[in-house]
Amino acid sequence: MSGANDLFDLSGRVAVVTGGNKGIGLGFARGLAKAGADVAIWARSEDDNARAAEELRAFGTRVIGLPCDITDFATITEACRRTVEELGRIDACFANAGGGDGYDPLKVSPERFGKTLDMNVDGTFFTLQEVSKHMKERGGGGKLVTVSSITERFGAAKMPGYAAAKAALGGIVRSLAIEFARYDIQVNNLQPGWIETDATQPMRDNDKLRDTVVHRTPARRWGKTADFEGIAVYFASSASDFHTGDTLCIDGGYSIF
């Protein structure tokens, strides 16, 4: 009988992480590499890609960093092609890249509002589309994971575009989970809560906000990127073969308290 270690062993598998050179994405990549997966980081900064890849290679797996801007669909296609060429296949994709900024909803231009949707909705969808084409053609199934936010549940002042975009991912995931089940491809969504990353540093510099989050969170702390290592392994492994169309909130209990 296979043990738990075999269930979560990713040796021989290849995982893509968009935006995987820092923050939550790097947390995913660390967990995947520790479990034995070869990893392809797709992100815009080639310098950050190289630094992350060097760190991850210490776990003994193959790691490549490829330039990719998910708002430029040609770079998605090229990153997918090079990943298959250099690592042989893609078994899992964590569509983590995204972002947004704050603005007055009474003054925001259509261009600025649309830019947030283009990045988080279109960029994520067409990343999944490109990878799933490969998975279908190769056969053998696969894993697709999107990354939204607890703003999907609560909204966010001055960030209606970001909240709308992240909420859209849940609908995309449920739809693709139905569509891709016939190919043995599981599709799921993660909702991170308040996490310690470079992007949230300005928020954590605000003593009142930082402490409010801690007091509201049953775990009594902000999340860490390391908190996403294990969930990445689960969703990339055969342990999640019957788990699809779901959204999991990784927030230390913030959303239920």
Q: Are residues 26 and 20 in contact, defined by beta-carbon separation less than 8 angstroms?
A: yes
| Amino acid, res. 236 | A
DSSP line for 49-89: HHHHHHHHHTTTS-EEEEE--TTSHHHHHHHHHHHHHHHS-
pTM of the full predicted structure?
Answer: 0.95
pLDDT, tens digit, 9 for 90 and up, residues 83-103: 999 999 999 999 999 998 999
pLDDT at 1 (0 to 100)? 41
Determine which of 33-42, 47-56, 124-133, 193-202 has the lowest per-residue pLDDT on average. 193-202
Of 247, 58, 80, nearest to 151 by C-alpha is 247
Domain at 9-256: CATH code: 3.40.50.720
Please identify which of the residues 103, 162, 183, 254 carries the catalytic annotation. 162
Which pLDDT score is estimated for 36? 98
- pLDDT tens for residues 117-157? 999 999 999 999 999 999 999 999 999 999 999 998 999 89
Q: Where are the domains of the chain?
A: 9-256
Element (H, E) at 13: none
Predicted pLDDT at 6:
85
Q: Is 103 assigned a catalytic role?
A: no
Neighbours of 239 (CB within 10 A): 13
